Structure formats: C-alpha cells, structure tokens
Structure 1
C-alpha cells in the first residue's frame, strides 16, 4: 500500500509539473541553437549503449531522436557518470537527462520530470546454475551488487533480509562480471536492462521470480526549464497517440511497454 501511494504521489507531482510550464525561454533557447543536448550513461542497454563499432543505440536513443525530428532540432548526446548526472544537469552541461531514469520522490525534489514513458522495476539476477535461491525471499546473507547512483540502491533496502555486503559498480556489466566469477551472489538491476543482458549471454544468468519494485521512467529537466519540458512532453504524448512510441518499444522489447493505460 505504501509503495502504491508513493508511486501515485510521484506521478501526480510529475503531472502537475508538466502542467505548470510557462514561457521561461528554455524552449526558445534550444530552438534557436538548433540542438537538444541530452545527458546519459552510455553503458545502459537496452536504453542507451555503445555497439562494438562505437555507435550509440537503444530505446531512449531512438525515442529522443524521433522527438528531435518532430521538434526540428538536432539531438546531441553527452555521456556522463551516472553518479553525478543531476549535478551535471544543474551545471548546464546538458539540457535534460534521458536514460531510463526512475522517477522517485527524492529525485523529484531536484529535477522536473515528464510523465512516465515506461514502467520498469528492479529484479534480482543470479548465476544460471545457482540453486540456493528460488525466489526473492531466499536472498539471505548475500553479497549483492548494483550500479552507483541507481535506483537499485533503494531496491536492495526493500529485500526481506538486508544483504551482508553491498558492492556498488560503475556500471551493470562490471557487476555481472563479478556475479559470473562468484565474487557476489546477486545483482539488483532494472528489469529492461537485466533481461537485455541475459538475452545476449544465454546460459549465464537467470532472473528470480517477481519484482522487487515497480518504477516509472521519466525524462528529467532543470526545475526552471518548464517550457522545454512541456514541449518535449507534448511531443511524447503525440508519439504515444500516433503509435510511434509503440513501434520503437516493439523494436527493443518485442512488445509495447509505453502505453500509459497499462501502467
């Protein structure tokens, strides 16, 4: 009940913030410059990551590029360390954060989110041959790992039994390497990311049944940039209505997980 209440309050705050956008000049600035600079962690598949040839791909990449096309501006991607991503946004190193960022009450105090565009959640990934754990309730006395600054840190606290050790990594691939080597017992990771990684390495990892938490993804802007946030939100709403978001979702997830009616 508490989790549902927090989620509802977070979404309502996001909706209220979107409705409040005014002529603050943020959209006019981006339009004049002809580019929207977006901060991201470029090692976060399938939301945004580098292929072997260095090309940046992912669901968020395709969605943002489509928004840029609709708005008539170029999308410029600015990779940054996720741990300090909000600080970098406030320092005006980019215009927004678009990288599978979970909407939380804590983050909503620092940034202004769009409405959720995907409903994600945290899951527990273990070695494929792991036999000690059949479900989340079995995770006792474990060594857990997750990414620095991620919502996985909060999700770990929701486990029935706190881990005896929690290790924070620069990115999830490094955490999975330690999991594969047996240096940790479980990796707490975003559902979309975990499933993508597992699909690319069959027979190495598996997901324990159930979700630790449900979490909405939103695009984050500076508190004062209401005009820009409102313009992006209008475009996202249009893309949901005309099926553009569904098309991108099916490309990356084999199903539409962007329909707000299913959140």
Structure 2
C-alpha cells in the first residue's frame, strides 16, 4: 500500500511539473510582444467606437495600462459576442476583456481572473413611460436583450414573463427599437444602461433595483494559467496604486473597482 501511495504521489508531482512546464502562455505573449484581446466593440462604456472609429472605453483603458506595464502591445480583435468563447478556445485571440460576467457555465469553459468590477442587470424604459414602474410591470411586454449576454437569462427570470424577448446583435440596436416604440424595455447590464441614459438625457430611465448582480472578469483559455496570473498580478497592482480607481472615475464618476466593496 505504501509503495502504491508513493507511486501515486510521484506521478501526481510529475503531472504537475509537466503541466507547469507546458504552460508557456505568458512566455509566448511576451515573446510576440503583443496580447490579442477579443471584444464586442459596440459595448459602451466598456469598449466601443467613437464617431471617428476610435476604440474607447473602461476596458480599453484598463487593458492598455496592463499592456504598458507588461511591456507588450494590446491588439484588439472585434468579434461576435455570441461565439466569443468558441473564438477564444479556437486561438483567434489570447483573452476576452469586455465586461464579461463570470458565471459557472463560462467558468467551466474558460479561466477567469478575480472580479475587477461588480455589475448587474437592470431594465431600461422610455422616459415618458408611465405604465411600467417596476420589474413586475414587464409581464406581457416586449423586452430586448443582447444575444449571448446575461441579459437574456435575467429577462427570463423577471417576476412576470414578458410577452416576447427579442435578441439583438448589440445593445445600441436594442435601444433604437426601444426609442421607436418597438420595444417596451431593454434589459442590460447596469454600467451600459447608465451610460446610455446619461448619453441621451431625457430619453430613457432605469427601473428601480437590480434584476441580478454579476462580477466582471478577464477570460483566458483553461491552460493559459501563467498568462492569467501575470495579468491578475498587474490588475492587483493597479488597484493598489489607485490606477483602476482613476479609470473608473473617468467612465463612471466613482470608483467601482475596489474588491473590498464587492
């Protein structure tokens, strides 16, 4: 029995050593001099295009600072959000950094950092809407969500079932239909929802309260532990020295990146 136990311990140690040796994900990125990140580039305020095509947003600023500190270039790869995990695992890019909610289902497919921000799903309606005052009032209404996002499950979990849940490629298209009256509400993450309401004063308002609460994380392939750890280490340093807080204040008017407040 002792010999078997010893053999098992040795085999486990060898496997661990081989796994650690095989994980050269950070070395590959460092050697190439660039980290390719997949994102939905129509997801304000996390990552989106200005009228002149410039890519901006909270995640853009945060990732670019990580790249600066690590001495590598950040290369942004726009992709359809619905298949973003498949694209990551097909090696089309090295990471997903785009306000991605950490869920059990996703954590089974990718390797996440610790949460760098806490978000949640809310419901947005037109400013002149009088009949819809709470989440319960969305029963039998037409609700829009971004396809592949946590908003879909949040809409399904509303106290009263909507008449229809329409899926859109991105949130801006859903808000256009809300403005035109083709939708009664858009379920969206809190940060994006507040950004849309602030960017278009007098058009939209948020219903009180969260439908769900969700942490954001940066996603990597399961095997890319050393790359994840290097990015995590850098994010931790940015939180500690106040840089993440400064970026948060720039985009949200307050620091919502302090893990102590999650």
TM-score by length of 1: 0.91
What are the within-5 Å matches in structure 2 for residues 152-163 of structure 1?
152-163=151-162
CA distance in 1, matches of 2:201, 2:228: 39
Q: In the alignment, is residue 40 of structure 1 matched against residue 39 of structure 2? A: yes
What are the within-5 Å matches in structure 2 for residues 108-127 of structure 1?
108-127=107-126
- Higher-Rg structure is 2
Q: In the alignment, is residue 164 of structure 1 matched against residue 163 of structure 2? A: yes
Equivalent position of 1:103 in the other structure: 102
CA distance in 2, matches of 1:160, 1:221: 34
The aligned length equals 243
Equivalent position of 2:213 in the other structure: 214
Equivalent position of 2:64 in the other structure: 65
Equivalent position of 1:82 in the other structure: 81
Gaps of 5+ in 2: 1-18
Gaps of 5+ in 1: 1-20
Equivalent position of 2:3 in the other structure: none
Q: Which has the higher contact order (CA 8 A, sep 6+)?
A: 1
What are the within-5 Å matches in structure 2 for residues 189-204 of structure 1?
189-204=188-203
Equivalent position of 1:252 in the other structure: 251
Equivalent position of 1:51 in the other structure: 50
Q: What is the CA-CA distance between 1:230 and the residue it aligns to?
A: 0.5
Equivalent position of 1:94 in the other structure: 93
TM-score by length of 2: 0.91
Q: In the alignment, is residue 146 of structure 1 matched against residue 139 of structure 2? A: no
Q: What is the CA-CA distance between 1:158 and the residue it aligns to?
A: 1.7
Q: Deviations over 1:11-61 (max 9, x none)?
A: xxxxxxxxxx94510000000000000000000000000001111000000
